């Protein structure tokens, strides 16, 4: 049942099951619809892809710790070779250096041992992974709330259709009775005409509700990523609609329960690492290298690659950043200011979370009172209608009195359904504000 499963589906962790996008949802429960949405909603899929993209970014950044191997090849044709003068015993001679054709092939491997950027990437990797997962969790929580509300909306509309159908059945009987009394000359035609008007209005209400229900089904299919032309039906049994609406209003607000707050905390950790990186930029970088080259020289291009003259070098490279204007100092100050800004974002988030909680809790309490009042009004209106119906049948009450009581009953029933939907929606808002809706995939 829809609301029986509400505490299990929402106040506890919503366990995402693997639901194929080929699965047809027939007579689906709320949990089944949520499971489908968590696996097939485009927004959720995009968040999961963002996680994969983020993982690739992390691995790309950390790849700098591995040896970097490069190969280079070059060919030179010396149009004019270098000539140098050589003086021996007072006599000067001119010597041509090099050959007309030269070529070189070199393989070089570089290895970083100390690098500020790579140190930062290593330390920040876990926080970036955490941030990506938190973003996905935020999307899933929003999905759970949106799908649940859409489900409740359809359930409410189906119950409204049942009420309208019951009303139409009563009005058809009343029209038949009024017609018979009019033909018998017991009443004038106004009762018959009023019955016709009421029945026409009821049928118009049913038509409008039917059309809106088509849109609501289309909306929930959009939310969960379900094919437009595929068969789709929901389990909308309402025999226990009132179960699952009770909420513990004594729960205390814990900011860390909110995924939005945890995202800000992760952002602050990343920004703090960025500040540290700018300070680490004063450190020298140390790397090693090794290369091996094949050198070719010949005056005849056809014989250039007949003989090679290999060479090889290994070594260490130390780079010390001594002065870069004031760039490093400015970057450090900028990052510290960004940290302070995120601190203010966190303060602002606390205030917003508290306001959201107070608003949602106040709305829930008000809706709970409205629901209790509406439930009581339904019973009273039904009793009034039954009494006036008996009095009308006995000729004590007029048809107008009967129509008024019938309208009051229908209004009370619809108000009850609307208040129940508002109560269920506001409960979701409270749970979201408390951060008790969590999704463990």
Residues 6+ apart with CB under 8 A from 369: none
Q: What is the pLDDT of residue 20?
A: 55
> Counting runs of H as helices and runs of E as strands, what totals does the chain give?
8, 10
d(CA 28, CA 19): 12
Which of these, 2, 63, 47, 65, lies nearest to 29 by C-alpha position? 2
Say how far apart CA 135 and CA 302 lie, in whole Å: 63
Specify the long-range contacts of residues 272-277, CB closer than 8 Å, at least 24 apart.
Answer: 272/339, 273/120, 273/123, 273/124, 273/127, 274/120, 274/335, 274/338, 275/332, 275/335, 275/336, 275/339, 276/120, 276/123, 277/116, 277/117, 277/119, 277/120
What is the reported pLDDT for 174?
Answer: 83
Contacts of 382 (CB under 8 A, 6+ apart): 409
Domains and CATH numbers, the chain: 6-41+115-284+324-440 (1.20.1600.10)
Report d(CA 340, CA 355) in Å as an integer.
23
Residue-level pLDDT at 116: 86
Whether the CA torsion 391, 397, 403, 406 is positive or negative: it is negative
pLDDT tens sequence for the chain (441 residues): 333 334 334 444 444 444 555 688 888 888 899 999 999 999 999 999 999 999 999 999 999 999 999 999 999 998 888 888 787 777 777 787 788 899 999 999 999 999 888 888 999 999 999 999 999 999 999 999 999 999 999 999 998 998 999 989 988 888 888 788 777 766 677 877 888 888 899 999 999 999 999 999 999 999 999 988 888 888 876 655 667 788 888 888 899 999 999 999 999 999 999 998 888 878 889 999 999 999 999 888 888 888 899 999 999 999 988 887 888 889 899 999 999 999 999 999 999 999 999 999 999 999 999 999 999 999 999 999 999 989 888 878 888 888 889 889 999 999 999 999 999 999 999 999 999 987 764
Per-residue pLDDT of 403-437, as tens digits, reads 889 889 999 999 999 999 999 999 999 999 999 98
What pLDDT shows up at residue 440?
A: 60
Q: Read off the pTM.
A: 0.81
Q: In this structure, what DSSP letter does residue 353 have?
A: H
Sorted by sequence, the CB contacts under 8 Å of residue 280 that are 6+ apart come out as 116, 119, 120
Please tell me the predicted confidence (pLDDT) of residue 365: 93
> What would the pLDDT profile of 175-188 be if each residue is shown by its tens digit?
888 788 777 766 67
| Residues 6 or more apart whose Cβ sits within 8 Å of residue 329 | none
Q: CB of 131 within 8 A of CB of 183?
A: no
Q: What value, to the nearest 5°, has the Cα angle with vertex 409 and ends 402 and 375?
A: 155
Phi-psi region at 244: left, alpha or beta (left = phi > 0; alpha = psi -120 to 50): left
Question: In 3D, which of 249, 171, 159, 240 has the Cα closest to residue 203?
Answer: 171
Residue in 230, 234, 88, 61 with CA at minimum distance from that of residue 148: 234
């Amino acid at each position: 049942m829809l609301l029986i499963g509400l505490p299990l589906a929402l106040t506890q962790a919503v366990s995402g099951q693997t639901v194929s996008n080929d699965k047809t949802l027939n007579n689906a429960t709320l949990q089944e619809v949520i499971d489908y949405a968590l696996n097939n909603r485009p927004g959720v899929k995009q968040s999961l892809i963002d996680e994969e993209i983020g993982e690739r970014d992390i691995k790309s950044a950390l790849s700098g710790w591995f040896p970097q191997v490069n190969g280079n090849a070059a060919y030179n044709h010396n149009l004019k070779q270098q000539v140098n003068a050589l003086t021996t015993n007072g006599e000067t001679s001119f010597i041509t250096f090099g050959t007309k054709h030269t070529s070189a092939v070199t393989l070089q491997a570089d290895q970083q041992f100390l690098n500020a950027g790579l140190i930062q990437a290593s330390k920040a990797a876990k926080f970036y992974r955490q941030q990506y997962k938190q973003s996905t969790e935020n999307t899933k929580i929003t999905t759970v709330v949106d799908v649940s509300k859409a489900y409740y909306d359809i359930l409410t509309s189906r119950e409204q259709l049942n009420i309208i159908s019951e009303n139409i059945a009563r009005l058809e009987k009343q029209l038949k009775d009024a017609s018979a009394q009019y033909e018998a000359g017991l009443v004038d035609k106004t009762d018959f005409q009023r019955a016709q008007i009421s029945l026409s209005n009821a049928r118009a209400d049913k038509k409008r509700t039917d059309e809106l229900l088509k849109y609501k089904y289309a909306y929930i299919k959009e939310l969960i990523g379900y094919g437009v032309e595929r068969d789709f039906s929901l389990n909308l049994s309402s025999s226990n609609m009132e179960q699952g609406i009770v909420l513990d209003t004594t729960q205390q607000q814990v900011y860390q329960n909110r995924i939005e707050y945890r995202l800000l905390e992760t952002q602050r950790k990343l920004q703090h690492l960025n500040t540290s990186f700018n300070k680490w930029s004063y450190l020298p970088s140390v790397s090693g290298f090794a290369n091996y080259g094949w050198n070719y020289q010949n005056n005849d291009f056809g014989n250039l690659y007949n003989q090679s003259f290999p060479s090889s070098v290994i070594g260490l490279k130390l780079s010390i950043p001594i002065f870069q204007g004031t760039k490093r100092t400015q970057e450090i100050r900028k990052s510290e200011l960004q940290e302070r800004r995120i601190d203010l974002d966190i303060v602002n988030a606390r205030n917003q979370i508290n306001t959201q909680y107070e608003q949602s809790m106040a709305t829930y309490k008000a809706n709970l009172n409205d629901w209790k009042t509406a439930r009581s009004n339904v019973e009273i209106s039904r009793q009034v209608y039954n009494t006036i119906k008996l009095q009308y049948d006995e000729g004590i009450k007029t048809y107008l009195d009967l129509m008024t009581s019938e309208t009051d009953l229908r209004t009370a029933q619809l108000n009850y359904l609307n208040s129940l939907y508002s109560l269920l929606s506001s409960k979701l808002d409270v749970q979201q504000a408390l951060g008790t809706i969590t999704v463990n995939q």
